[in-house]
């Protein structure tokens, strides 16, 4: 069921519609009909993060002269900004990499080569890598699109645009907010024609979103925080909508988690930035989001637990059973579900 290629055009994907409150039934539709399921008073919230070219191949070099090839995923800067030169990285293979090892990218030890020194080991298999040049510039020139491993293929030039929402503007994610991949400029035109307000926030999707839940009790899983930002304009518009009783429709689980994180912490939407670490499990009471557009998610992931919290575990499992029987396309490049 895994979609290894995107829908072309991107708004040609199918869309399952799940009525979580009234009937609990799901119906088959298509993404191009999304405006039919929205109210003119709705506010649609998008995550405008932009996927960086986070995957690079390098050469591990040790003082004893031994070398080996290594793949490096630049997961997140140690500080707030992507221009920081110390980043958390995932290395593959990584078990034998030690603190103090050198990873050389490109020209080897020639003057001007880009290289990093491995630092301490952190949670979730991450390591610090201290680079000798700004990472943001280096990745833009030499990095590759970090397609999810389950696609089982190398990235191609077309992925540079297809694994990116059309409204992506703030660099920092290592994975796309995939529910947004279906949108086109013509869809935004249809939404505005219906009077639907559109608000953008930012959450840089990191490895925390996709790390599987390995604990027998999911409540014991620790969600790795991800960087977010909400502007004062976005907060004001969302508060006005909420005060008027208008429905907030989030595009994607990342948007949902960010909105719930902010309202859960402050009681309202406020201009803010930092790290969101809210892990939403069944039993959670949603405070901000009234409807959600989302793709189909991996088993044992925090994402399927979030949508199960929103619609109930039973309704989500029934919907997924229908999706399999009806040959929906799954995961990042797959079809979507509208949960109202």
Tens of pLDDT along 123-138? Answer: 888 999 999 988 988 9
| pLDDT per position as a tens digit, 282-292 | 999 999 999 99
Question: Are 218 and 108 in a shared domain?
Answer: no
Question: Are 299 and 169 in a shared domain?
Answer: yes
Q: What is the mean pLDDT of residues 172-184?
A: 97
Question: Are 119 and 267 in a shared domain?
Answer: no
Residue 223 DSSP one-character state: P
Question: Are 234 and 266 in a shared domain?
Answer: yes
Q: What is the mean pLDDT of residues 186-199?
A: 97
The 10 Å Cβ neighbour count of residue 48 is 18
End position of a domain, from candidates 142, 173, 197: 142
Question: Are 220 and 113 in a shared domain?
Answer: no
Question: Are 47 and 103 in a shared domain?
Answer: no
| pLDDT per position as a tens digit, 210-243 | 677 777 788 777 778 899 999 999 999 999 999 9
Question: Are 308 and 272 in a shared domain?
Answer: yes
CATH (domain of 177): 3.40.1780.10
Question: Are 33 and 130 in a shared domain?
Answer: no
| pLDDT per position as a tens digit, 324-340 | 999 999 999 999 999 99
Q: Which of 131, 137, 138 is nearest to 117 (CA)?
A: 131
End position of a domain, from candidates 88, 113, 142: 142
Is residue 73 one of the residues assigned to a domain? yes
- 3-state class (DSSP) for residue 70: strand
Q: Which pair of tokens denotes residue 118? A: 């491995």
Question: Are 251 and 281 in a shared domain?
Answer: yes
Question: Are 242 and 255 in a shared domain?
Answer: yes
Q: Is the pTM higher than 0.95?
A: no
Q: How far apart are CA 127 and CA 164, in angstroms?
A: 27
| pLDDT per position as a tens digit, 42-60 | 999 999 999 999 999 999 9
pLDDT at 207: 85
End position of a domain, from candidates 113, 142, 171: 142
Domain interval for residue 81: 55-142
Is residue 240 one of the residues assigned to a domain? yes
Q: Give the long-range contacts of residues 22-25, CB within 8 A, separation 24 or more.
A: 24/312, 24/315, 24/318
| pLDDT per position as a tens digit, 244-285 | 999 999 999 999 999 999 999 999 999 999 999 999 999 999
Question: Are 71 and 122 in a shared domain?
Answer: yes
Ramachandran class of 70: left when φ > 0, alpha when ψ lies in -120 to 50, beta otherwise: beta
């Amino acid at each position: 069921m895994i979609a290894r290629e995107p829908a072309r055009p991107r708004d040609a994907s199918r869309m399952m519609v799940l009525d979580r409150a009234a009937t609990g039934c799901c119906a088959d539709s298509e993404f191009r009909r999304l405006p039919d399921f929205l109210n003119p008073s709705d506010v649609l919230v998008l995550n405008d993060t932009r996927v960086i070219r986070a995957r690079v191949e390098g050469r591990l070099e040790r003082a004893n002269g031994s070398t080996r090839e290594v793949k490096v995923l630049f997961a997140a800067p140690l500080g707030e900004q992507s221009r920081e030169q110390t980043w958390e990285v995932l290395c593959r293979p990584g078990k034998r990499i030690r603190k103090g090892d050198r990873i050389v990218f490109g020209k080897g030890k020639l003057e001007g080569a880009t290289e990093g020194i491995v630092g301490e080991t952190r949670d979730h298999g991450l390591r610090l890598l201290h680079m000798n040049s700004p990472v943001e510039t280096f990745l833009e020139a030499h990095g590759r699109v970090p397609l999810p491993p389950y696609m089982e293929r190398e990235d191609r030039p077309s992925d540079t645009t297809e694994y990116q929402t059309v409204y992506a503007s703030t660099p920092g994610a290592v994975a796309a907010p995939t529910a947004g991949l279906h949108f086109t400029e013509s869809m935004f035109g249809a939404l505005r024609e219906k009077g639907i307000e559109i608000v953008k926030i930012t959450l840089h999707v990191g490895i925390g979103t996709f790390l599987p839940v390995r604990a027998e009790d999911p409540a014991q899983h620790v969600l790795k925080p991800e960087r977010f930002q909400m502007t004062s304009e976005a907060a004001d518009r969302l508060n006005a909508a909420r005060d008027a009783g208008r429905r907030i429709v989030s595009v994607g689980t990342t948007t949902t988690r960010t909105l719930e994180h902010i309202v859960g912490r402050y009681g309202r939407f406020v201009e803010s930035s930092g790290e969101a670490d809210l892990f939403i499990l069944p039993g959670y009471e949603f405070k901000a989001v009234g409807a959600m557009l989302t793709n189909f998610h991996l088993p044992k992931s925090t994402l399927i637990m979030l949508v199960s919290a929103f619609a109930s575990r039973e309704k989500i499992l029934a919907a997924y059973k229908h999706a399999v029987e009806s040959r929906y396309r799954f995961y990042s490049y797959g079809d979507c579900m509208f949960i109202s």
